Chains A and B, each alone.
Chain A
Amino acid sequence: MSKEEIYERLNKVFQDIFDDESITVNENTTSDDIEDWDSLEHINLVVAVEQEFGMKFNMNEVTTMKNVGEMVDIILSRISK
């Protein structure tokens, strides 16, 4: 799976979670950029991403991810295994 493909699928997840069709994410997107992205939604988001890509984040990764770029790196490293 390529990075572009991942971003495309991620966009859908984000739009679904935050109920906003206009969201597009890039590697620098952080929780500050999306209004509803608080710590609670973060968990929901993480779970939705896990389901989308059929992989698991560990708790450490969940709480330390700083931006979407880091999230994509983790996803990449998991699905390429």
Chain B
Amino acid sequence: MLLTSLSFLAFAIITVLLYFILPKKCQWLVLLIASLVFLFYKNLSIGTIIQALAVLLSSYVLGRQIEKNKETKKAKRYLIIGIAIILGILAYLKYSNLFIITVNHILDLFKVSYQFKQVQRVSLIGISYYSLIMISYLVDIYRGTCKSEKNILKLALFMSYFPILNSGPFIRYENMKDELYKKHKFSYDRLCSGLVRILWGLFKILVISQRLGMYVDTVYANLATYNGFYTVIAILFFPMQLYTNFSGSIDIIMGISEILGIKLPENFTTPFFSTSMTEFWRHWHITLGAWLKEYIFYPLLKSTIMQKLNTFCKNKFSKKIGKKIPMFLSMFIMWVCIGVWHGGAYTYIIGSGIIQFIFIFLEDLLGPIVSKINKKIGIKEDVFSYKLYKTIRTYLLFSISMIFFRATSIKNAIKIFLSIFFYNPWILFDNNSIYKAGLDLLDFRVLILSLIVLFIVEKLSRTGSVREKLFKQNIVFRWGIIYALIFGIVIFGCYGVGYDPAEFIYRGF
């Protein structure tokens, strides 16, 4: 169910109504049923039921067992079995093709002419989210951070809470158990606040993201026609398209969750204001970063192997390098995991994994050197212009990495990158070349205007909730903004059937 679709709107309204009309005791059951509907919407089959049940049952049983056998070897064994089952199912459903492609490449390398065929597997929506969430549940029980859930239906709700299935955020059982199962009173203020957040999310997706997408899709699909500056603009547009879509989705589900009274962790905090890639990733998909740190990076860094490596490097090189090498090794592994999580293709592993690692690595390596040089030649680093330069640089670096994320293959990504160098700066100035790639003059106007709105709101949000600020204003302004938002979305949103006046035969026959 697309978050911007009418079916989702109907689904959300029915869920919220039942949630507050039925006795408060049933609230979590309403959520469970709604979540199951969302999970299996247009995707109900024996296969999908089995894959969901396998994860649920194994998490439930093993979670109980880990707790019972606390601080014994058995607990560790159960934990490993649990993780293996969850990851196994995830890998089988999502990464089979990645495996097949890799094997085929290797076969090719050894001049074996046999090639495996790629497979088509139906996985449930949100499988990459609930798999990691259930792993964190088991690990947390093992670590003693949380108690295991005795009621399997409650655990099912934790696993499938519908708002997070679409695009996160990652939740942890410890933080959610009270939120999900306790009784929630209806609150008018929460309703208003939640609705405004949903509107804002819709604005980001329908007005900005979809519009950017029209341009990006046109250019990337016709690289022969659109190159040079067309590509440059597409490359610069894509991160913004991704951000407005992703964070807009988050806004919608957070808005719904807010109406229900269930707090979720934030996933984005104005990432494009970051002055370095390291900072950027602290503000982009925050809960994924937190998950990986908690369950991959720290344990790796703390592991015996890494500590041995640490000592080894310390003795061989210096204390500083001794620290850095295991750190970067663990970091590299973590980034590969992020890449893999984003999807079963090499473009993802490179685009959202390895390149990100390289940038962060270089920042760490070159940062101090650049600072030294700046000091020597008298370039001030604490002025606005330098910070602006660093912010723009971060955006550019992210844009370049996202070429791989967006491309259909590595070859395609390289082709996109190379097409930057086609010389055609005049398209920016001549009559209307630039308006031929999916967005016309009027679309560009709307786009620029809405990006300015986005910028202002993001800027304001850095000093506290924009909605709180809005609700403090007088009624005329407050309602004016909300009406403007509604009609901005309804009129300028890119949804429904494309309008083609040629289709209208009024005054023609």
A and B touch in the complex (CB under 8 A): yes
Residues of A within 8 A of B (CB): 19, 39-40, 43-44, 46-47, 58-60, 62-63
Q: Which of B139, B294, B302, B323 counts the most chain A CB atoms within 10 A?
A: B302
Q: Which 8 A-B pairs have the closest CB atoms?
A: A60-B143, A43-B301, A60-B145, A59-B143, A47-B307, A58-B143, A43-B302, A43-B298
Q: Is the CB of A63 within 8 A of B298?
A: yes
User: Total contacts A to B, CB within 8 angstroms?
Assistant: 31
B144 touches A63 (CB 8 A): no
Residue of B nearest to A56 (CB): B302
A62-B144 in contact (CB<8A): no
When distances are taken between beta carbons in the complex, the residues of chain A under 8 Å from B298 are 43, 59, 62-63
Q: Place the interface of chain B in its size category.
A: 10 to 19
Cβ of B139: which chain A residues have Cβ within 8 Å of it? 59
User: What are 18 A-B contacts with C-beta separation under 8 Å?
Assistant: A19-B319, A39-B293, A43-B298, A43-B301, A43-B302, A44-B310, A44-B323, A46-B302, A47-B302, A47-B307, A47-B310, A58-B143, A59-B294, A59-B298, A59-B299, A60-B140, A60-B143, A62-B302
Give A58 to B310 CA distance when docked, in angstroms: 20
B144 nearest in chain A by CB position: A60
Residues in B129-159 with C-beta less than 8 Å from chain A: 139-140, 143-145
Find the residue from A40, A58, A62 having the highest chain B CB count within 10 A. Answer: A40
* B residues in contact with A44, CB < 8 Å: 301, 310, 323
Residue in A closest to B322 when the chains form the complex, CB atoms: A44
Give the residues in chain B near A59, CB-CB below 8 Å: 139, 143, 294, 298-299, 302
Compute how far the CA of A44 lies from the CA of B330 in the bound complex, rounded to whole angstroms.
13
Residue B327 at the chain A interface, CB threshold 8 Å: yes
> Shortest beta-carbon distance, A58 to chain B, in Å?
6
Q: Give Cα distance in the complex from A22 to B44, angstroms.
A: 65
Residues of A within 8 A of B310 (CB): 44, 47
A62 to B143, CA, bound (A): 11
Contact A58 B144 (CB under 8 A): yes
- Kindly state the separation between the CA atoms of A60 and B172 in the bound complex, as whole angstroms: 13
- A26 vs chain B, min Cβ distance (A): 25
Residues on A with beta carbons closer than 8 Å to the beta carbon of B144: 58, 60
Most buried by B among A39, A43, A44, A58: A43
Taking CB atoms, residues of chain A closer than 8 Å to B319 are 19
A28 to B458, CA, bound (A): 36
Q: In the bound complex, how far is the Cα of B301 from the Cα of A43, in angstroms?
A: 7
Chain B nearest CB, measured from A15 CB (Å): 12
Whole-angstrom distance between the Cβ of B365 and the nearest chain A Cβ: 15
Which residues of B308-347 are within 8 A (CB) of A? 310, 319, 323, 327
Apart from A58-B144, A59-B299, A63-B298, 17 more pairs, CB < 8 Å: A19-B319, A39-B293, A43-B301, A43-B302, A44-B301, A44-B310, A44-B323, A47-B301, A47-B307, A47-B310, A58-B143, A59-B143, A59-B294, A59-B302, A60-B140, A60-B143, A60-B145
Q: Tell me if B145 and A40 are in contact (CB < 8 A).
A: no
Please report the C-alpha to C-alpha distance between residue A43 and residue B324 in the assembled complex, in whole angstroms: 12
Q: Which residue of B lies closest to A42 (CB)?
A: B298
Q: A58-B143, A58-B144 are in contact. Are A40 and B302 (CB under 8 A)?
A: no
Asked whether, in the complex, the Cβ of A40 is within 8 Å of the Cβ of B299, the reply is no
Docked CA distance A62–B293 (Å): 12
- For B145, the chain A residues whose CB sits under 8 A away are 60
> For the complex, what is the distance from the CA of A48 to the CA of B297, rounded to whole Å?
17
C-alpha spacing A60/B294, complex, angstroms = 9
With both chains docked as a complex, state the minimum distance between the C-beta of A41 and any C-beta of chain B, in angstroms. 8
Question: Closest CB of chain A to B439's CB: distance in Å?
Answer: 42
Residues in A whose Cβ lies below 8 Å from that of B307: 47
* A residues less than 8 Å from B143 (CB atoms): 58-60
A43 (CB) vs chain B CBs: closest residue:
B301
Cβ < 8 Å to A, chain B residues 102-149:
139-140, 143-145
Question: What is the CA–CA distance of A39 and B307 in the complex, to the nearest angstrom?
Answer: 16
CB distance from B410 to the nearest CB of A (A): 31
How near does chain B come to A51, taking the closest CB pair, in angstroms? 8
The complex places the Cα of A62 from the Cα of B139 at a distance, in Å, of 14
Looking across the interface, which residue of chain B has its beta carbon closest to that of A40? B327
Distance of A38 Cα from B331 Cα, bound (Å): 15
Q: Which residue of B lies closest to A64 (CB)?
A: B145
| B 278-308 binary contact with A (CB < 8 Å = 1; else 0) | 0000000000000001100011011000010
Distance of B302 from chain A, by nearest CB (Å): 6
Inter-chain CA distance A51–B218, complex, in Å, is 58
- A44 to B144 Cα, complex, angstroms: 22
In the bound complex, CA of A67 to CA of B144 (Å): 20
Cβ-closest chain B residue relative to A44: B323
List B contacts of A62 (CB < 8 A).
298, 302
- Measured CB to CB, the closest approach of chain B to A14, in angstroms, equals 14
| Closest residue on chain A to residue B290 by CB atoms | A63
